[in-house]
Homo-oligomer: A and B are copies of this chain.
């Protein structure tokens, strides 16, 4: 009898769920697939642990992997990942909107709850929240049937002086950074204008808020990379596009 590959009918252990979710998230806003050691860093485990788990994920047919190369989700893996991402983001939205959490407090709680709630729970909660399209950090919430629309956005860091746009996403990877943005009153959907760069690789100078009462701010690399904007069409680019 052949070894009868386990099918991933059920949703896997919480570890499996986290691995798949992180593999997915890595490619959500750019397209290079994740490597073993990057995965290890993001999960806070040893490289050897990743190697072992990846073997299991291959066995569960959730990822494709040739030894020593990058790790990519199968369609079943992507389906599971989208389920987990939906759970995580619906929970974050609930914590902020219904329980009064600050946006830097929701991640850890959602990271655990996502493995425990039922589909019914998430779907009723989402309905109660009016089926939100994005979470408190601007990350898109996949629908129950597993479709997502990732908005067009660029990191603020990538924009040249003169560009304007609207903040579409604020990376929730660093809670301290979220608190900084909070204290500077930087929020989703705020208008921004890139003024320019301080000389010799210095900070990015950015103007925030409505054109009347705009504040100018110097942003370090970390901060500028965490802010994603939907850029307005720019005169200088009309021909290039």
Task: Give A contacts to B, CB under 8 Å.
Answer: 95, 98-101, 109, 112-113, 115-118, 120-121, 124-125, 128
Contacts and interface: CB of A to CB of B under 8 A. Distances in A.
A124 B109 contact: no
A162 to B, nearest CB: 44
B125 A118 contact: no
B99 A124 contact: yes
Please give the count of copies of this chain that the complex contains: 2
Contact of A121 (B99, B120, B121): B99
Contacts of A121: 95, 99, 109
A109 B113 CA distance: 12
Contact of A128 (B99, B115, B116): B99
Given A100-B124, A109-B118, 12 more contacts: A98-B128, A99-B121, A99-B124, A101-B120, A109-B120, A109-B121, A112-B116, A113-B113, A113-B116, A113-B117, A115-B116, A116-B116
